[in-house]
Amino acid sequence: MKMFVKKIIYVFISFAILACADLDRKIEEKETNNKVSGGVDYNPEANVAKLGITFRDPGNPVANYVHAVQSGNLLFLSGKGPKQANGENIVGKVGADLTVEEGYAAAREAGINQLSVLKAELGDLRKVKRIVKVKGMVNAVSGFKDHSKVINGYSDLMVAIFGENGKHTRAAVGMGSLPGNMAVEVEMVVELWED
C-alpha cells in the first residue's frame, strides 16, 4: 500500500512539474509576443490597411548615406521628402507656391515614405515600440509662421498608425530651400522592442 501511495504521489508531482513548465512556456511566449508587437491591441499593420496606405519601394539612397541606422534599440531614419506614389515630389515653397493644407499633405506623403522604410528595414511595423523624435523641415517663405501645422501632416499619420506609441517629441522648422525644391523633409528616430 505504501508503494502504491508513493507512486501516486510521484505521478501527481510529475504532472505538477509538467504543468508548471507548460505554464512558464506560455508566459514566456506571451511576453516575447508583447515585446515584438506591443501587445494584443497594438497593430500598426492593421491601421495601415484601414487607411488604405500602400507601402512604396524606398529605392536606393541618392547620395552617400543609408535609409536607416540602428544603435541599440533605436533606429535613426534619414530624412524623406514628399515623393508621391507616381514617383514625383511635391515641390514648392509653402506660403507662396503651396498652402498650409498642401504642405500638410506633403508632410503626410513624407510619413508614408518613412513607413515604407520602416517596413523594408523591419519586416513588421509591430517591432516599433514608439516613435521617439521627429524633425520636420518646411521649405517656406521668409516670415512663414505655420510650420507646426504643416508637419502635423506627418505627426497625425504616425499617431493614426501607432496610436499612443506614435506620439513623439518634435521640431518643425523653416528652411530657405530643400533638395529639389521639395516642400518638406522629415527625419525620425524610433524605438524598437527589445529582443
**Whole-number Å distance between alpha carbons of 169 and 88:** 29
**Whole-number Å distance between alpha carbons of 174 and 151:** 11
Q: At what angle do helices 100-122 and 147-162 cross, to 10 degrees?
A: 40
pTM of the model: 0.81
DSSP one-letter string for 163-179: GGGG--EEEEEEES--G
Which are the contacts of 173, defined by CB distance < 8 A and separation ≥ 6? 135, 136, 137, 138, 147
Nearest to 125 by CA among 187, 41, 36: 36
Q: Tell me, what's the pLDDT at 35?
A: 47
**Whole-number Å distance between alpha carbons of 32 and 162:** 19
- Which residues make beta-bridge pairs with 75? 70, 190
Q: What is the average per-residue pLDDT within 12-38?
A: 54
Which are the contacts of 92, defined by CB distance < 8 A and separation ≥ 6? 98, 139, 181, 183
Report pLDDT digits (tens) over 75-113.
Answer: 999 999 999 999 999 999 999 999 999 999 999 999 999
Indicate the fold that domain 44-192 takes in CATH.
60s Ribosomal Protein L30; Chain: A; (3.30.1330)
Q: Which three cell numbers stand for residue 21?
A: 513548465
**Whole-number Å distance between alpha carbons of 113 and 157:** 11
Task: Report percent pLDDT > 70 for the chain.
Answer: 79
Report pLDDT digits (tens) over 111-129.
Answer: 999 999 999 999 999 999 9
Q: What is the average per-residue pLDDT within 34-51?
A: 79
For residue 25, CA distances in Å to 21, 29, 31, 126 come to: 6, 6, 10, 22
Q: Tell me, what's the pLDDT at 33?
A: 47
Q: What is the average per-residue pLDDT within 172-176?
A: 98
H/E stretch holding 39 reads none
**What is the domain partition of the chain in residue ranges?**
1-37, 44-192
H/E stretch holding 53 reads none
**Whole-number Å distance between alpha carbons of 59 and 189:** 20
Report how many helices (DSSP H) and strands (DSSP E) the chain contains, helices first. 4, 5
Q: What is the average per-residue pLDDT within 57-62?
A: 92
Q: Tell me, what's the pLDDT at 50?
A: 97
